[in-house]
Amino acid sequence: MRQFRQAGISVRLAVGGVLLGGLVLLTSLISLSLGPVEIPAGHVAAVVLSFVGLDLAEVSRTEHLVIEQIRLPRILVGAFVGMALAVAGATMQGLFRNPMADPGIIGVSAGGALGAVIAIATGLTGLFFLALPSFAFVGAVAATFLVYGIAAVGGHFSMATLLLAGVAVNAFLGAVISAIIILLPDNEALREILFWLAGGLDSRAWEHVHISAPLIVGATVVILVRARDLNLLMLGDDEARALGVRVSLTRVALLGAAALATGAAVAVSGTIAFVGLVTPHILRLVLGPDHRVLIPLSALAGAVFVIVADTFARTIIQPAEFRVGVLTAFVGAPFFALLLIRNKRQAYAL
């Protein structure tokens, strides 16, 4: 472990990339075969290969449809959401120079939640399919702008003010959501809201992949391009400037990209807790703090985390479904606490 930490960037990237990339494929294939209809691994492989034009074996129409229309889009949405949350978490932790920062720190999750709650409470979700994700996305972006606007007032931007503005906006939006829930006469809508707030990937379809994936991939690319600058920003603005980073521009690009990725994730999955906090944190213990390694591997590890959690969520209490957001927190929080205790010294050193 220690030797791996000291290995060169390309070694850590290559080994980590192969391991985690393999895990993404493996967990996806296992997830594809599990569910109310058990599909043997051979059939899963045959269906997946048929997507790339290789028809090797006969697979029943039902199995093909279940994989293509139900399980695959759901797994893909989960993978992209996990990627978005972990990458945004790693970015926020770097920008705030604080390993406890979370993608929701600048109000983006709460904004998304309020957007979704409004869409459900007004009944718009019944009118058109994309009402919920679009409202959630607009809410997420608007909340981010509000928080950033408060922190940038008077031309003197400060990360400390950003953090406090995030706390204020989060509390305010939370209060608005509670007020709506309390005043809502419709029990069905209430249940839908609570369901959404717990975060879930049930009945996610290809449309959800299509609306979220481009934003998430684009934001991740923007962050990857500036991963090295993020290393310097972590040491302070003066340090970064003295080593050639255009600090304001870089910070806005990184904040914007992290907010966009989180907003897109919240729009299609609700608020899934803990992925953004815990994934980069664990990777940092193994790989060190260099963002050129941390960001791409967080993307893969976040995908694995959500795919695995969602597979459990939809299989452990069949035929009912558990909420993936509840599960990530349920498993993630104790695991995180355990990790903190075991690595107390390193955790402090972070």
Partner 1 sequence: MQTERTASIRADELGFRVEAKALLERVRLHADQGQLVGLIGPNGAGKSTLLRAIAGVLRPQEGAVWLEGEELKTIPARDVAARMALVPQIAPYTHGFTARELVLMGRYPHLGRFQIEGPNDERIAREAMELTETDEFAERTLDTLSGGERQRVFVSRALAQQPRVLLLDEPTANLDVLHKLRVLDLVRQLVDEGLTAVAAIHDLGMAARYCDRLVLLSEGRVLADGTPAEVLAPDIIEAAFGVRSAVYPDPVTGSLVVSLIAPADENGSASAAGANGRSPHHNREAAASPATPGAATT
Binding site for partner 1 (CB under 8 A): 6, 8-10, 97, 99, 225, 228, 231-232, 234-239, 241-246, 284, 288-290, 292, 346, 349-350
CB of 10 to partner 1, least distance (A): 6
Nearer to partner 1, 98 or 161 (CB): 98
CB of 218 to partner 1, least distance (A): 17
CB of 4 to partner 1, least distance (A): 13
Nearer to partner 1, 27 or 93 (CB): 93
Contacts of 279 (CB under 8 A, 6+ apart): 82, 85, 86, 89, 90, 298, 301, 302, 305
CB of 285 to partner 1, least distance (A): 9
CB of 12 to partner 1, least distance (A): 11
Distance CA 193, CA 113 (A): 9
Distance CA 272, CA 323 (A): 9
Nearer to partner 1, 147 or 285 (CB): 285
Single-letter amino acid code for the residue at 109 = S
The single residue listed with the structure tokens 């991740």 is 220
CB of 299 to partner 1, least distance (A): 17
Q: What is the DSSP letter of 246?
A: -
Distance CA 44, CA 229 (A): 42
* Beta carbons within 10 angstroms of residue 274's beta carbon: 22
For 157, the enclosing helix (H) or strand (E) is none
Q: What is the DSSP letter of 22?
A: H
Nearer to partner 1, 204 or 284 (CB): 284
CB of 97 to partner 1, least distance (A): 7
* Beta carbons within 10 angstroms of residue 142's beta carbon: 17
CB of 14 to partner 1, least distance (A): 12
Query: Do residues 92 and 106 lie in contact, with contact meaning Cβ atoms separated by under 8 Å?
Result: yes
Nearer to partner 1, 64 or 292 (CB): 292
3-state secondary structure of 70: helix
Q: What is the DSSP letter of 35?
A: S
CB of 51 to partner 1, least distance (A): 31
Angle at 287 between CA 285 and CA 290, to 5 degrees: 105
Nearer to partner 1, 96 or 137 (CB): 96
Nearer to partner 1, 209 or 278 (CB): 278
Closest of 110, 114, 121 to residue 147, by C-alpha: 110
Q: What are phi and psi of 202, to 5 degrees?
A: -60, 145
Single-letter amino acid code for the residue at 213 = A
Distance CA 284, CA 107 (A): 24
For 33, the enclosing helix (H) or strand (E) is helix 9-33
Nearer to partner 1, 52 or 348 (CB): 348
Nearer to partner 1, 43 or 284 (CB): 284
